[in-house]
Amino acid sequence: MEKQTRNKPVIKDEIGFILFHLTPFLLLFTGATKFDWWLLVALYFIRMFFITAGYHRYFSHRTFATSRVFQFLLAFFAQTSMQKGALWWAANHRVHHKHSDTPDDPHSANIYGFWYAHVGWIVGPDYKETKYELIKDFSKYKELVFLNKYHLLPAIILAIGVYFTGNMVNGTGFTDWTAGLSTLFAGFCFSTVILFHGTFTINSLMHLFGGRRYNTTDKSRNNFLFAVITMGEGWHNNHHYFQSSTRQGFFWWEFDPTYYIIKVFSWLGLVWNIREVPENLLHSNKIGK
């Protein structure tokens, strides 16, 4: 299929995105402690959980139910990833499923190529505004609209918290104001950059590499490696086959830690009405293992 093109990225957004990618290089001047590296790993996986559980499985697909307070927390912590507002994210993802691998798909690598599918659509003008008409079920909540409007606020709060935590752990309290810089650059900035690309691989690579179990109208694929990187999102063909399921690793051997955590939350009463795959669909419409 011949690749098509979309509008060019907005220059100021593209420059800001590139400059943020350069912040981890500041570690060359500050160094990094063992605590900084452990925090990088922790914040990557904690925020990846909120991206897949919050942005994706809850706001985009409503695969489980929760309280108004907990849905705010899902949105808040997901937005610490700097991947825009929960309403913006979910509305665009709904477009992706409706038009998957067609010219109307926001990020089809098969149509627009790898680079546009990976990051071009995010920094470009085509999907800059939130499509509130596609997310009416959640845009009725004023606190979610507020978060969506000021989508960088949660990330700024986290960055400040990371800096002061590093200041306390690596320095001597608040007397050494440089001690928290390495924690900021590694724990927040570097982990955020890795998180960008961990998440974006689902848009750009999961319709290109992997196996196909189910016959779907798109080119979605399953890939164990990407399931590990994204805490269960790598079972993408499963998901496109039955997107209403909280569980994306349909079978016990398909690693899906996001689902396991959501299940624990259900035992604690934080979420409920977890949606499973109907048994009759698990073994139908198959084209592979």
Q: What does 226-272 look like in DSSP terms, one character per residue?
A: HHHHTTSTTBHHHHHHSTT-S-SS-STTS--HHHHHHHHHHHTTSEE
Dihedral pair phi/psi, residue 270, rounded to 5° = -80, -30
> Model confidence at 170, in pLDDT bands (50, 70, 90)?
confident
Confidence of residue 177 (pLDDT cuts 50, 70, 90): confident
Closest CA to 180 of 197, 195, 161: 161
Start-to-end CA span in the chain (Å): 26
Q: CA 62 to CA 79: how far, in whole Å?
A: 18
Tokens at residue 198, please? Answer: 């961990």
Confidence of residue 171 (pLDDT cuts 50, 70, 90): confident
Residue 2: pLDDT band (50, 70, 90) is very low
For 29-43, what is the mean pLDDT? Answer: 96
Answer whether residue 6 is part of any domain. no
User: Could you tell me if residue 136 is inside a domain?
Assistant: yes
Residue 142 in any domain: the answer is: yes
Give the whole-angstrom CA distance, residue 93 versus residue 89.
6
Assigned domain for 135 exists? yes
Give the pLDDT score at 4. 59
Q: Name the band, by pLDDT with cuts 50, 70 and 90, for residue 124.
A: confident
Q: CB within 8 A of 59, min separation 6: which ones?
A: 71, 74, 75, 86, 87, 89, 90, 135, 138
pLDDT band at 1 (very low <50, low <70, confident <90, very high): very low
Q: What is the mean pLDDT of residues 59-73?
A: 98
- Token pair of 255, please? 């690693």
- Tally of domains in the chain: 1
Distances (CA, A) of 162 to 34, 62, 158, 178: 15, 31, 6, 13
Does residue 254 carry a pLDDT above 80?
Answer: yes
CA angle at residue 87 from 48 to 73, to 5 degrees?
55
- H or E stretch covering 116: none
C-alpha 48, offset from chain centre: 6
13 pLDDT above the threshold of 70 = no
List CB contacts of 10: < 8 A, sequence separation 6 or more: 123, 124, 125, 128
pLDDT at 288: 74
Q: Which residues contact 75 (CB under 8 A, 6 or more apart)?
A: 54, 59, 85, 86, 144, 147, 148
Q: Is residue 138 a part of any domain in this protein? A: yes
Answer whether 54's CB lies under 8 Å from 48's CB.
Answer: no
SS3 12: helix
Q: Is residue 5 part of a domain?
A: no
Mean pLDDT taken over the chain = 92
> What's the domain range around 219?
11-282
Residues in Cβ contact with 15 at an 8 Å cutoff, skipping those fewer than 6 apart:
none
Assigned domain for 147 exists? yes
Structural domain contains residue 287 = no
